[in-house]
Amino acid sequence: MFLVVDERQSVAAQYVAGFDQEGVPARCLPVPDFRAWLDAAPAQDIATIDGFVLGDCDDRATCTAALRSLSRAPIIALNETRSLEQTLALFTAGIDDVVRKPVHVREILARASAIRRRMNRGETRVAASPDQSARLTVYTDGRDPEIDGQSLMLPRRERTILEYLARNRGRQVTKSQIFNAVYASHETEVEESVVEGHISKLRKKLRQRLGYDPIEAKRLAGYTFVG
């Protein structure tokens, strides 16, 4: 999920619509709500964010510094004018990239993927067990996962769930957190049956290829990726 922050709600809404057209969940936050979210959001909610897009807002450098202390997700700033001083200040604060508007959402996605590749080579490798070489590779740049070097084609939402669970390996996550990661909504009521349906199909596919279930489920509690 991408989070778009801009003082002009109409601009933020346009970018959210663009992400939606590309099949990527996104939501926008007004600047005051973004600052409140930074102060109060649980770490696991922040972990659902794949990238931050910061448009026009006061004191972006301060917001960026606070955000960087909480998340390693790509942070991309959008500028309407060229300003060397402003660009240098943003990079110093921790911004990963500065792009001049207008910019297409696909370019933002490509830049975010490039940033992730530089940070962690775009993948999380998960060993089946301590005495086996890594069988399952979960990518964080939109590619399908691989099992024993062979691609496992997944629908977008199942792939997003697997990426989220892999990033939180060993930690139990709730259905609400998974729903937020997939549908970019922290405000609407969670449809647990939707989450359960996606995860049931995902676990079946993983079991068929791996021979075991890498996702533990606890009733009324949530799911844990154990690899």
Q: What pLDDT is attached to residue 130?
A: 40
Q: Which residues pair with 147 in a beta bridge?
A: 136, 150
2-122 CATH fold: Rossmann fold (3.40.50)
Q: What pLDDT is attached to residue 173?
A: 87
Look at 28-42, 60-74, 123-137, 192-206 and tell me which has the smallest mean pLDDT. Answer: 123-137
- 2-122 and 136-225, same CATH topology: no
Counting residues of the chain whose pLDDT is more than 70, the rounded percentage is 89
Average pLDDT of the chain is 82
- The yes-or-no verdict on residue 57 having pLDDT over 60 is yes
- The model carries a pTM of 0.62
- Give pLDDT tens digits for 61-71: 788 888 888 88
Q: What pLDDT is attached to residue 108?
A: 93
Q: What pLDDT is attached to residue 121?
A: 56
So where are the chain's domains? 2-122, 136-225
How distant is the alpha carbon of residue 214 from its chain centre? 21
What is the rounded average pLDDT of the residues 143-153?
88
Pick the CATH number of 136-225 from 1.20.140.10, 1.10.760.10, 1.20.810.10, 1.10.10.10: 1.10.10.10
Q: What pLDDT is attached to residue 122?
A: 44
